[in-house]
Amino acid sequence: MYARRRHVYFTMMGACLALFVLAWGVVRLWSIPVAVGMCVVAMLIPPVAAMVANRRGPEDRWWDDPSGDPKSDEWWDELDGKRRR
């Protein structure tokens, strides 16, 4: 699952870079407003790419992992109803 998120992240960032380079290297020769619009779209891609890369799926059970502190783990297990005293 991590590899898929990483591939999507790098694809999105590559598209961002391509939009920016094409906007000011090629498209600006024909239309400045379109080039600015392409840069605005390119500006919105990195935050979305970061959210996609850091998203956790249902198979990523990071919240159930023990912290390593037995007292804290016991307390959280009691709160979650995993162990009854």
Residue 35 near residue 27, CB atoms below 8 Å: yes
pLDDT of residue 12: 94
pLDDT of residue 76: 77
pLDDT of residue 63: 64
pLDDT of residue 46: 95
User: How many Å separate Cα 74 from the centre of its chain?
Assistant: 32
The structural domains of the chain, with segments of one domain joined by +, span 2-57
Q: 50: closest CA among 13, 19, 4, 1?
A: 13
Low-confidence residues of the chain: pLDDT under 70: 1, 57-66, 83-85
